[in-house]
Amino acid sequence: MSFISVRYFKSEIGELIIGSYENELCLLDYRYRNMRASIDSRISKGLNARFVEQNSSVPVIENTISQLKEYFTGSRYDFTVKIRTVGTEFQNQVWDSLCKIPYGETTTYLKLAKSIGNEKAVRAVASANGANAIGIIIPCHRVIGSDGSLVGFAGGLTAKRKLLKLEQSDSMQKNQLPLFD
């Protein structure tokens, strides 16, 4: 059995768990989230690997932390870490579509469902969004309710609001989402 190297990182939006498998990022998620066990199980089974906490340097994890720090200071808008997603074909389709949402912009679950050619799959899209194990880099936080409200997020709505405000304050976009304080 192979190994998924993991390390914990305290960020501006909560404690994250970062995982690397064969020099690719396979996990960037909130350490304490409701779906932690099911997501970890899906990744472990999908890669036929077990999680091992690393205190030594793992290049992909170090690079991810470095890029996250740049992101949180507003000096990074895109990530260059090589990722490996573990999910169904549908989930991967949704996650690919999430990656197309530009920095500083948002979309709705309905628009996301339409972007994959299945506007009736709104609930399934929301479920796939919630199963995303590589948050921030696969920007599930950029999905909001059809009425503009902040809905569902693994790290909680406070963290989602912070991420959106960070991106909007740095964005050159004029069409910005009003966020509630």
The residue among 15, 38, 72 that closes a domain is 72
Closest CA to 162 of 71, 57, 58, 27: 71
Of the residues 140, 143, 150, 159, only one is catalytic, namely: 140
Domain co-membership, 68 together with 106: no
Q: Are residues 94 and 158 located together in one domain of the fold?
A: yes
pLDDT at 170: 56
The verdict on residue 102 lying in a domain is: yes
The verdict on 54 and 95 lying in the same domain is no
Cα 30 to Cα 8, 19, 157, distances in angstroms: 9, 12, 13
Residues 121 and 65 in one domain: no
* Region 39-65 average pLDDT: 94
Domain at 109, CATH number: 1.10.10.10
How far, rounded to the nearest angstrom, does the alpha carbon of residue 130 sit from its chain's CA centroid? 9
pLDDT value, residue 79: 97
Alpha helix segments (H runs only) across 22-180: 36-47, 59-72, 89-98, 109-115, 122-130, 157-170
Query: Does 151 score more than 90 pLDDT?
Result: no
Count of the separate structural domains present in the chain? 2
The pLDDT of residue 139: 96
Percent of the chain with pLDDT over 70: 93
> Do the domain assignments include residue 176?
no
Do residues 58 and 98 share a domain? Answer: no
Residue 100 has pLDDT above 70, yes or no: yes
Max Cα-Cα span within the chain: 50
Name residues whose C-beta falls within 8 Å of residue 56's C-beta, 6 or more positions apart in sequence: none
Number of neighbours of residue 9 by Cβ within 10 angstroms: 16
pLDDT digits (tens, 9 = 90+) for 15-40: 999 999 999 999 999 999 888 999 99
Residue 95 and residue 160 share a domain: yes
pLDDT of residue 174: 37
pLDDT band at 162 (very low <50, low <70, confident <90, very high): very high
CB 8 within 8 A of CB 51: no
Contacts of 181 (CB under 8 A, 6+ apart): none
Question: Residue 28 is part of a domain; what is its CATH number?
Answer: 3.30.160
Q: What is the mean pLDDT of residues 89-118?
A: 94
Is 99 one of the catalytic residues?
Answer: no
Residue 133 above 90 pLDDT?
yes
Is position 95 within any domain? yes
Of 42, 72, 102, the residue at which a domain comes to its end is: 72
Domain end, chosen from 20, 42, 72, is at 72
Q: Which domain holds residue 65?
A: 2-72
